[in-house]
Each structure stands twice: as structure tokens, then as C-alpha cells.
Amino acid sequence: MSKGGAFDLASGLGGKIEKDDVLSAVDRYEKYHSDFGGVEEDRKANYTDMVNKYYDLVTSFYEYGWGESFHFAPRWKGESLRESIKRHEHFLALQLGLKPGHKDIRSYKIPY
């Protein structure tokens, strides 16, 4: 896929940032790296900005590929991506003992 094509994907379906914003964020992110003229001192001084730019960009790409589910699910033959994620989310909910209406899972412990 061409570089422009990837940006089109990230800013399109499911993406949260516009194409021009993606290009601008990539340019700013790349400048932190030595391949693009960046120096270690700038990375250290601006690490929060660099990390935020990275996650903003990959989030857009992930949302294009997988929607808002950032977990992966094994797919069964003939099963769509949406079906596999739904099945896996139900499995996780059962493992956690979630009940209808539960919204905050911070207090749940995964049974290993």
C-alpha cells in the first residue's frame, strides 16, 4: 500500500482524525527520529508529545482495521471479523462473571 493510501485509510472509515491531520502528525512524529533529522535530546525533552502522536496515529489505523475493539479474536472458518469479536467479548464477559448492566470492570479479577 502506498503511503498516501495508508493515510486515506487512517482518516476514513473509523478513523478519528482527518487526512491533513494524519499527514501533519506523521511529519511531526517522524522529526523525532534520527532517520528524519531528529536528535535524542529532542526525543527526551518531548517524549510525552512523541508518545501521544504515536498512539493518536496508530489508534486511527487500528480503528480502521478493527473498529473500536482493540483486542483480537481467533476467527473460525466462515466467521466474519465482527462475529469473532462479538463471540470473544461474550467469552470474556462470562470469564469475568459480568452481568447485564455492569459497566465498570475495574473491580473484577480475571480467573486464571
Average pLDDT of the chain is 74
Q: Are residues 8 and 61 in the same domain?
A: yes
The string of pLDDT tens digits covering residues 3-29 is: 444 444 444 444 456 677 778 878 888
Judgement on whether residues 8 and 62 belong to the same structural domain of the protein: yes
Q: Do both 44 and 83 map to the same domain?
A: no
What is the pLDDT at residue 111? 57
Mean pLDDT of 94-110: 72
23 and 56 in a single domain? The answer is yes
Collapsing DSSP to helix, strand or coil, 60 comes out as helix
Q: Are residues 91 and 61 in the same domain?
A: no
Same domain, 34 and 79: no
* Total of domains in the chain: 2
| DSSP state letter for 34 | G
Task: Output the pLDDT for position 6.
Answer: 47
Task: Based on the fold, state whether residues 22 and 58 are members of the same structural domain.
Answer: yes
Question: Contact 29/21 with Cβ under 8 angstroms?
Answer: no
Exposed / middle / buried, residue 78 (Cβ in 10 Å: 0-12, 13-18, 19+): exposed
- In angstroms, the CA 110 to CA 48 distance is 31
What pLDDT score does 105 carry?
57
Together in a domain, 82 and 54: no
> Is residue 36 within 8 Å of 30, Cβ to Cβ?
yes
Q: Are residues 61 and 80 in the same domain?
A: no
Q: Domain residues for 30? A: 3-66
Q: Per the structure block, which three cell numbers stand in for 71?
A: 483486542
- Residue 31 · residue 38 · CB < 8 Å: yes
Do 23 and 44 lie in a common domain?
yes
**What is the distance, to the nearest Å, from the Cα of residue 110 to the centroid of all Cα atoms in its chain?**
23
pLDDT of res. 112: 54
Task: Say yes or no: 46 and 85 in one domain.
Answer: no
Residues 56 and 108 in one domain: no
